[in-house]
Amino acid sequence: MTATLANRRDRDGGPGQALRGFVARNPMLLAAALLCIAFTLTSPVFGTSGNAANILRQSASVLVLGLAMSTVVLVGGIDLSVGSVVLASATLAGIVLAEGAHPTLAILAGIGIGAAVGTLNAVLVEGLRISPVIVTLGTMIAVRGFSLVVLGRYNSWVEIKGPIFSDIARRTVAGVPLDALLALALAAVLWFVLAGTTLGRRWHATGDAPIAARLAGLRIRWLRAVAYIVCGALAGAAGILVATRTGLISPSIGQGLEFFAIAVVALGAGGLPAGRLRISQVVVGTFILMMIFNYMTIRGVPGTWQTTVTGLLLLGAMVAGRLLQRDSGDISAGEATVDENAGLSQMGIRLSRSALLLATILLASVFVFINPRFATWPNVIALVEQNAALAVVAVGATIGIISRSVDISPGSVIALGAVVAALAGQAGSPMPLSLLAGIGTCLAVYALNGLIVGRLGLDALIVTLAAWIWARGLAVSLTNATTIGFDMGFVTFMNTPLAFGFTVAAPMVGLAFLAGWIVLHRTPFGVRVYALGGDPRMVRQAGIDERRLRLMILVVMGAFTAGGMLLMLGRLGAAAPTAGFGLELDAIVAVILGGASFRGGTGRLRDTAVGVLFLAILNNGLSGLQMGDAQFFLIKGSIILAALTLRACVQTYFVRRGTT
């Protein structure tokens, strides 16, 4: 007896209404036009044809990246590795050119490496059913590491020289830059694929209603896999455009581009709507973002503010999109595995847990074997100190994953909190007040996220994704990308050994786990955290206020992030805007490796502790080998992906054996 919510929107014809309908369907097009007019009126430079060409050129690679992202968003996924793919593609193309091969070959190499990374993502996400966020965060780090290692062999820079490449960078056709034309041509091709081919139709169906699409006979996992591969190839093409424009490949290329890719999609479409994305929206989103960047540059706003603005625009677009189309379906969170419901047998759970413990011991033994200094007491102390912030944040991440509120912002929020504390100190506020300002900042960001998640029903994952971008951007802009020192009294306190050489960090970790355990197992809140992750409907049926619960969950997680911020600030002795980079991945990986499910409802703190131990040993062991960032990223990313793969294999095996 389902009440059909039919006939929601009945529209009548008529020219005036047709126009109104067009605007209502394309609000961002109107916004772009208004922005354009406003910018032209307020700046004499903005409206010139030279500046227009400039905007077009700057838009080219971002548009292609946005196209790449839209293929996976369309089928209900997400890909955070596109920025790293840009670096890999540009590097490889540059090297092929430097080795004297034909430019066409260089272009193919760039697109090929992109497709290869896309294939890897596809296998891990669709083949092994690991969450796309965590997989692509892993490939983001591993691919960046790989590219930097390769680039390192060429003294970290490669010059781009070649006939086709310089043509793309310099030629114009009827006043329009060639690279912008190429990007628009790719957009047209993708538009045709989506609108006119069976593949496009099936992608729409898969994103719109995966279960229905599956029963309609579509091979949805295969279709989504193809989307990841196409995404990778397009990101590779974007890498070629970046290479032509910069002319010089250096390690900073592609950094943060994944933010822009997500932002242009969300700006155009008002969120990340699986199954309902249009290419025209991505084009409009790209031009809005690039016009804003351009205007900022004209007005003399430092480039460091670009990321902040991107993140805030992303957040604004998603909130506005939600408010405007409240009644029309859900915005996808990129969870690609909802349709395959299979329980894991007890045996499988036990085995995957003991497998992690075994892997941890094995990893430690390897480091003991290759590095005599690994198993020394000072190193054990260092291991704890280095990873204390991770451990504390991982407690919060456990609560988040149990309640299905995955948070990818802790790294960025820690950086922002530390920066605020240091700036307050610099402005002359006393040390405790400065710390309070930092803690307050962390809690405020989480409370804001919690309000949005609770009130608007947006998925925590995409709300914290925005915070991941804007909080990091704000930390960079506030400090002008420099490190700011902090009160020596606090730093000394945090680094003074208390007993056995351990500083206050060790008891703080213990305290965090204890607090987490009490919260999860000794308060009504904890039971509800498990209940919410298990099945939100049950929570509503039991008469619990779901919005308040979601807000509470994020605030509690914010408290743990604040704890991590204090540890980070104390250990570094200063606020670096880059602090905590990759911490979110470590924290989520620790929880997932420990045995919690991304689907929520399960997870234990002691398993998280083992997961943290595994990563701590990995971090410490690798840094003890005195390698550069490049190797570190490559090896760490690969080991994390390998560990996740192993866990997923064990699970798949036991699901098959256990339930069918």
Partner 1 sequence: MPTETPLLEIDTLGKRFPGVVALDGVSLSLRAGEVHGLIGQNGAGKSTLINILSGMLTPDAGAIRLDGAPVAVRNPRHALSLGIATVYQELSLLPNLTVAQNVSLGREPTKGGLLDIRTSRTHAAETLARLGLDFSPDVLVSNLSLAQRQMVEIAKALASHPKILILDEPTASLGQRESQKLFDAIGRLKAEGVAVVYVSHRFAEVLALCDVATVLRNGRHVVSTSLAGWSEARLTDAMIGAQTASYVPSKRTAGDVVLSVRDLTYMQRVHETSFALRRGEILALTGLLGAGQNEIARILGGDLRPESGSIVKDGRPLPWSGPYGATTAGVALLTDERKHEGILPNLTLRENIGIASLADRRATAGIVETTKERELTGKAISDYGIAASSTEVAMRTLSGGNQQKALLARWDLADADVLVLIEPTRGVDVGARADIYRRLDTLARSGKSIVVVSSDLPEVLALADRILVLRNGVIVEETTPSEVDEEALNLMIQGAAAA
Q: Report the interface residues with partner 1, using CB under 8 A.
A: 1-9, 196-199, 201-202, 204-205, 208-209, 211-219, 275-276, 328-329, 518, 521-524, 526-528, 530-531, 534-535, 537-544, 601-602, 660
Task: Identify which of residues 199 and 298 has a Cβ nearer to partner 1 in the complex.
Answer: 199
Distance between CA atoms of residues 140 and 147, nearest Å:
11
In angstroms, what CA-CA distances link 337 with 75, 125, 126, 402, 584?
A: 12, 9, 8, 16, 21
Task: Show the DSSP H helices in 299-409 as ranges.
Answer: 305-324, 346-370, 377-402
Residue with tokens 């790989």: 146
What is the number of other CB atoms lying within 10 angstroms of the CB of residue 324?
12
Distance between CA atoms of residues 616 and 633, nearest Å:
14
- Minimum distance from residue 73 beta carbon to partner 1 (Å): 14
- Minimum distance from residue 536 beta carbon to partner 1 (Å): 11
Q: Structure tokens of 315?
A: 């957040």
Secondary element (H or E) of residue 173: strand 172-173
- Minimum distance from residue 233 beta carbon to partner 1 (Å): 17
- Minimum distance from residue 140 beta carbon to partner 1 (Å): 30
Task: Identify which of residues 198 and 496 has a Cβ nearer to partner 1 in the complex.
Answer: 198
- Minimum distance from residue 273 beta carbon to partner 1 (Å): 8
Task: Identify which of residues 417 and 526 has a Cβ nearer to partner 1 in the complex.
Answer: 526
In angstroms, what CA-CA distances link 538 with 320, 377, 529?
A: 29, 49, 12
Quick one: DSSP state of residue 247? S
- Minimum distance from residue 277 beta carbon to partner 1 (Å): 11
Task: Identify which of residues 501 and 601 has a Cβ nearer to partner 1 in the complex.
Answer: 601
In angstroms, what CA-CA distances link 625 with 305, 367, 386, 619, 629?
A: 36, 9, 15, 10, 11
- Minimum distance from residue 401 beta carbon to partner 1 (Å): 13
Q: Structure tokens of 362?
A: 């094995």
**Residues pairing with 159 in the sheet:** 248
Closest among 486, 414, 423 to 443, alpha carbons compared: 414
Contact partners, residue 265, CB within 8 Å, separation at least 6? 66, 69, 70, 73, 272, 277, 281, 282, 285
- DSSP assignment string, 562-591: HHHHHHHHHHHSEE-TTTTTTHHHHHHHHH
In this structure, are residues 97 and 103 in contact, taking their beta carbons and an 8 Å threshold? yes
- Strands 158-159 and 248-249 turn out to be antiparallel
- Minimum distance from residue 259 beta carbon to partner 1 (Å): 27
Task: Identify which of residues 48 and 328 has a Cβ nearer to partner 1 in the complex.
Answer: 328
Task: Identify which of residues 205 and 267 has a Cβ nearer to partner 1 in the complex.
Answer: 205
Task: Identify which of residues 97 and 520 has a Cβ nearer to partner 1 in the complex.
Answer: 520
- Minimum distance from residue 568 beta carbon to partner 1 (Å): 30
- Minimum distance from residue 116 beta carbon to partner 1 (Å): 23
Length of the chain: 660
Task: Identify which of residues 114 and 210 has a Cβ nearer to partner 1 in the complex.
Answer: 210
- DSSP assignment string, 74-121: HTT---TTHHHHHHHHHHHHHHHHHTT--HHHHHHHHHHHHHHHHHHH
Task: Show the DSSP H helices in 216-256 as ranges.
Answer: 220-246
In this structure, are residues 388 and 609 in contact, taking their beta carbons and an 8 Å threshold? no
What is the number of other CB atoms lying within 10 angstroms of the CB of residue 162?
22
Distance between CA atoms of residues 517 and 608, nearest Å:
11
Task: Identify which of residues 9 and 153 has a Cβ nearer to partner 1 in the complex.
Answer: 9
- Minimum distance from residue 154 beta carbon to partner 1 (Å): 41
Secondary element (H or E) of residue 177: strand 176-177
- Minimum distance from residue 343 beta carbon to partner 1 (Å): 8
